[in-house]
Amino acid sequence: RSYYFSWDGDNDISLSSIKSRLQSYFSDAGNKYFVDDGIKMTIGLSGNEDELIYTIKLDFDNARYYHDLTEISQTRLTSFLNAVKSRTNTEIDNTYYEGANITGKLIDNDISRYYVSYNGRSYYFSWN
């Protein structure tokens, strides 16, 4: 058994540092998750020790196979968002944010009415 104390580790990491790590980790998300290296991703992160909220934008301007978010299968989108949640949990381990409820939204950069929201338990697809 191990114990964690608030004065141990990297508990004062900033949200901007976590966001930068996530952006770097998912820099090839278009290719890795959607098999289209023309899709560009940006991520924003806000919140506090109780709740972290991500906002991800996918830009399809240079995409090869997709024109907008609705053309990507919900299975691929869910897989990607599960990976984002998992990686976010990894990044916040042993920090001030550990244990925060993670919610968020994935938005089409050009058509904002197309989005996937996550409430911490399930996904909602705006075009259904």
Residue 1: pLDDT above 90?
Answer: no
Which tokens go with 119? 């409430």
Q: What pLDDT digit, counting tens, does each position of 57-116 carry?
A: 999 999 999 999 999 999 999 999 999 999 999 999 989 899 999 999 999 999 999 999
How far apart, in whole angstroms, are the C-alpha atoms of residue 115 and residue 58? 10
Segments of 1-128 assigned E as strands: 40-47, 51-59, 101-108, 115-118, 123-125
How far apart, in whole angstroms, are the C-alpha atoms of residue 113 and residue 83? 23
User: CB neighbours of 128 closer than 8 A, spacing ≥ 6?
Assistant: none
The pairing of beta strand 51-59 with beta strand 101-108: parallel
Q: What pLDDT digit, counting tens, does each position of 13-57 carry?
A: 899 999 999 999 999 999 999 999 999 999 999 999 999 999 999
- 21 burial (CB, 10 Å; 0-12 / 13-18 / 19+) is middle
Domains of the chain: 15-125 (3.30.70)
Q: Which residues pair with 40 in a beta bridge?
A: 59
Tell me, what's the pLDDT at 13?
84
DSSP assignment of 18-38, as one string? Answer: HHHHHHHHTTTHHHHHHS-TT
Residue 4: pLDDT above 50?
Answer: no
Residue 12: pLDDT above 90?
Answer: no
